[in-house]
Structure 1
Amino acid sequence: MLLERLEDTRSLAQRLVRALPEGALVLLTGPMGVGKTTLVQFIAQALGFQGEVTSPTYTLIHEYPTPEGLVVHIDAYRMADQEELYHLGLEDYLPEARLVLIEWGKPEVFGDSLEVRLSWEGDRRRAELIAHGNFNLQAHPEL
């Protein structure tokens, strides 16, 4: 789907929030500056978070409490071994978080996930949704 305007990204975030079950793991991939953190901001806002959303590049993990549950925002860009996230408690987050969003997440590490691959198409952005492992995209036709 094309994301020609900022409102298109906000609309995608709202659709994701409506469709994704509690504890879903979402990988946000694509080149720098394509809008991964902006999408996280709109997802958090759609769930009722009213604070500032920033990239956790240096802190690794940000948590955003929302009325619908915790949004966990992880930036794995600087991680040589993304499997270390499991040792840092990722599996503890999944059952209690509303959503876990991992920027730069590698699908081969995070098997049961939905990848939102953002890319540039000229001066516009494109979003592609890719299911990995046991994540069933067909069960979410609104996406």
Structure 2
Amino acid sequence: MIEGPILLVEDNPDDVLFTVRAFGKNHMGNEIIVAGDGEQALRLLLPSDGSRPLHPALILLDINLPKVDGLEVLRALRGDERTRALPVVVLTTSNEERDIVDSYRLGANSFVRKPVVFGDFVEAANVLGLYWLLVNEPMPPNRGD
């Protein structure tokens, strides 16, 4: 299993609870750190105060966020050498084709619609966790050039 936390960028408390419970039910041992808006996510990942940036194993990013929306977060992450290679899965309720196209154009690794039924959400979390934390081979640290 890939070490490191999962950064969940989500403003809906119910979706945060669903995601944390779903990953727990699937026995994913990675810590889940929650950023409640895009601005907080960027502070964690691209701190401007010289503090050490968070380097998550996986970022689960909602699109519809307060302060800074998910697509702007994605644009900032892909535009910075420190975060360019981090795996980002857009996890959203949006079913707008424009959001799918924009997410991939901006460098998302995957686009997943949040299942509404908890059992389906658990299954989706299992598939995401298995692939991104067990199967996928991440970019080695400091090799994103």
Same fold (TM over 0.5): no
**Which is richer in helix?**
2
TM-score, structure 2 normalization: 0.32
> Please, what TM-score do these two structures have when normalized by structure 1?
0.32
More strand by share: 1
